[in-house]
Structure 1
Amino acid sequence: MLEERLQTIQTWLKNENGAYAFIQGKANLFYLTGFRCEPHERLVSLFVFQKEEPILVCPNMEKDLVRQAGWKYHIIGYSDHENPWDLISKYVATLNINGHNIAIEKSLLSVARAEQLKELSPEADFICCETRLMNLRLIKSDEEIAILREAAKLADYGVEVGVHALSTGRTEMDVLAMIEYELKRKGIAEMSFGTLVLSGEQSANPHGKPSMKHLQKGEFVLFDLGVVLDGYCSDITRTIAFGQITEEQQHIYNTVLQAQMETLKLCQAGTVLGDLDRKARSIITDAGYGSYFPHRIGHGLGTEVHELPSLNETNKDQLQIGMTFTIEPGIYVPTTGGVRIEDDVLITTDGYECLTQFSKELQIIK
């Protein structure tokens, strides 16, 4: 699979008169090499050429992990006292490189590294390979889907742990810690993003910050979490009533649930992405909460927790079999609280499959 992906980039380079692609994004590196790491300030990058074999550049201390990940091509390793660009320059000088352009991830390349690339190839111009890479990652293989299913099950489990942990006297951070502890006991070393446990007024902030706030009866508690499993991400949101809630809070919850369920019915190959956002938005607006739904209906999901497609109302692209993404309408009312319901969705030959399956019916924890 990795060879096919690399060959696709090589073919693209030929068509674009590309001398080589310089790839350093964490998700793209994993997608093309099988190696996933957090490089910090050190250079970890992939060079893909039209005809020559690709090379992976990494610190010497990462070389064994690169091989364990399945990389079988050349590695340029370096120690902290060495300048990796000197080693790259010496190696590239031995190659017979065709093409003129350097393909880069435009949104990720720093000025410092752009200058290093220009020193390496002074006559070359930059072109962007990000769109090509994102489109490659758009349709998932059977192997990728199997991993995403398992990642979704672990996200379900995380919410289950959180719900069982709700108790007067505990803080949001208490519950968050219990969720991540139990997931680590399942072998999860990395979360897709910072886990959210938000209660009461805090839940009215779509991306609020969990705190030492104590849980109180009569409030919503919003869980938003996901795991990274074998390089692939999950992402789930559930909102729970901690104690008896008001009629308005129940109305908000039921509106969000209706918006999500009706939008899911449209999830099939050929549906225009913007129609999904407009469907959910129309239901929430008709209920009087349109101004309290400030974000798109969803986003793509894969080696990154946010990737293509973007499910906003202006997107005219169509759903395709093998796409994975989230459907996550929400209503966030200051002082009252917020509700979001989010599932990971796969487009299939028969329509769609919800990978996340934790119950969406309103749960009131007494």
Structure 2
Amino acid sequence: MNERLTKFTEWLTEQNQDFAFIHSPSNVFYLTNFHCEPHERLLGLFVVPNHEPFLVCPGMEESQARDAGWKYDIIGYSDSEEPFDFIHQALKGRGIQSPSSVSIEKSTLAYERVEKLQNLFSGLKFHSAELGLNELRLIKDEKEIEILREAASLADFGVQTGVAALREGVTEMEVLATIEFELKKKGIREMSFSTMVLFGEKSGQPHGNPGERKLKTGDLVLFDLGVVLNGYCSDITRTVAFGTINEKQKEIYETVLQAQNESLAISKPGTRLGDIDLAARNVISDAGYGDYFPHRIGHGIGIEVHEYPSMSEKNDSLLQKGMTYTIEPGIYLPEVGGVRIEDDVLVTENGYETLTKFPKELQIIK
């Protein structure tokens, strides 16, 4: 077994689990290197301590699992077959006759599939597989870090492309389309999330929806985007001014930039995660905009664009070398506009590295 699967199996043994059923594409990919989006169909990795694991996927995906390097049993099923019948047989063949405890991804497994497991084996107790998987995925290895660096560089390119596309009268959707078209020309098939390009007052919506709003002189322009590269995500936000900037806009920009810099300054091994949030929140609150910073400072990033850990002020966990996360303070003034500055951050031995590099100093685009 690969090192990740070995470590997860060891964790299952320590937790006295009879087996694990892992169904999310992200965790299956992490443990097998096989990426599959099954839609409504079942995808499953079954990990059984002291026995070989097996993979369950739609039959049409079986060859891709082999191409990804999976060397163990694969149960490929058709749309007219019930995969849990095959799962029952495979588990019994590995000595699982009357299990008492199974690890599942409690936060995402559909209750219908929990019931199907219960129908296979009565009296099952369910344990959270996320407890082990989140800890394994928390620290990135060198290969993961290199992919994340490249994904971040492509996110930088996306912002650069968006800035270059700004002109009087262009719509948010036209700029968005230009960004994604240029990224696809570089081989990017998938964005980490729906790209945001927001003009003027719409930049004051933390999760606004791009549309037909036309760019005008004096608008703030907010870009929030990321790419998926070799299974890993990037996420960057930059805000620029178009044509000119007023004093209020400049004030909130400089406040957000200072808030991000304060959070970055304490990003190093041993720092309490919640203090990363508080460092930025205090700057924004002291400037009188505390009510306009409604979200946490950031989130873990890796295979998923939002993954463990949550970078909220309540998190007492400590930063460790190899962790990757975002720092993204913002101020959003309803009907006026907003500023967010976001970077992907890697914790190094003595400090941090920002993986996203697009300049953060205030830019007025003429």
TM-score (norm 2): 0.98
CA–CA distance in structure 1, aligned partners of residues 96 and 63 of structure 2: 28
Amino acid at match of 1:68: D
Aligned-residue RMSD, C-alpha: 1.1
Match of 2:198 in 1: 198
Structure 1: state its 5+ residue gaps. none
Is 1:130–2:130 an aligned residue pair? yes
Please state whether the residue corresponding to 1:238 is helix, strand or coil. Answer: strand
1:36-75 aligned at under 5 Å gives the runs 36-75=35-74
CA–CA distance in structure 1, aligned partners of residues 233 and 89 of structure 2: 38
- Following superposition, the deviation at residue 261 of structure 1 comes to 1.1
CA–CA distance in structure 1, aligned partners of residues 164 and 221 of structure 2: 12
Query: What do residues 118-142 of structure 1 show as CA deviations (whole Å, max 9, x unaligned)?
Result: 1222232111111210111000001
Please state whether the residue corresponding to 1:148 is helix, strand or coil. Answer: helix
CA–CA distance in structure 2, aligned partners of residues 264 and 90 of structure 1: 52
CA–CA distance in structure 2, aligned partners of residues 300 and 94 of structure 1: 39
Query: What do residues 222-252 of structure 1 show as CA deviations (whole Å, max 9, x unaligned)?
Result: 0000011111110000001011011110011
Please state whether the residue corresponding to 1:18 is helix, strand or coil. Answer: coil
Indicate the larger mover: 149-158 or 64-73. 64-73
Match of 1:169 in 2: 169
Taking only the aligned residue pairs, the percentage that are identical comes to 60
Query: What do residues 16-50 of structure 1 show as CA deviations (whole Å, max 9, x unaligned)?
Result: 22111000112111101111122110101110001
Query: What do residues 55-114 of structure 1 show as CA deviations (whole Å, max 9, x unaligned)?
Result: 110111101111111111110001111111112222222221385211100011111100
CA–CA distance in structure 2, aligned partners of residues 334 and 168 of structure 1: 23
Amino acid at match of 2:87: I
Match of 2:11 in 1: 12
Amino acid at match of 1:44: L
CA–CA distance in structure 1, aligned partners of residues 238 and 88 of structure 2: 51
1:1-366 aligned at under 5 Å gives the runs 3-97=2-96, 100-366=100-366
Amino acid at match of 1:106: K
Query: What do residues 299-357 of structure 1 show as CA deviations (whole Å, max 9, x unaligned)?
Result: 10111111112111111111100000001100000122010000000010131000000
CA–CA distance in structure 1, aligned partners of residues 208 and 53 of structure 2: 42
Say whether the 8 Å CA contact 1:52–1:97 is kept in structure 2. Answer: no
Amino acid at match of 1:110: A
Say whether the 8 Å CA contact 1:17–1:100 is kept in structure 2. Answer: no
Amino acid at match of 1:112: E
Indicate the larger mover: 95-104 or 284-293. 95-104
- Following superposition, the deviation at residue 214 of structure 1 comes to 1.0
- Following superposition, the deviation at residue 272 of structure 1 comes to 0.8
Structure 2: state its 5+ residue gaps. none
Please state whether the residue corresponding to 1:67 is helix, strand or coil. Answer: helix
Indicate the larger mover: 309-318 or 219-228. 309-318
Please state whether the residue corresponding to 1:21 is helix, strand or coil. Answer: strand
Please state whether the residue corresponding to 1:133 is helix, strand or coil. Answer: helix
Amino acid at match of 1:271: T
CA–CA distance in structure 2, aligned partners of residues 13 and 362 of structure 1: 50
CA–CA distance in structure 1, aligned partners of residues 185 and 202 of structure 2: 28
Indicate the larger mover: 200-209 or 10-19. 10-19
TM-score (norm 1): 0.98
Query: What do residues 278-306 of structure 1 show as CA deviations (whole Å, max 9, x unaligned)?
Result: 11111111111111000111110111111
Amino acid at match of 2:195: T
Amino acid at match of 1:128: S
Indicate the larger mover: 171-180 or 13-22. 13-22
CA–CA distance in structure 2, aligned partners of residues 152 and 293 of structure 1: 25
CA–CA distance in structure 2, aligned partners of residues 76 and 45 of structure 1: 9
Equivalent residue pairs, number: 365
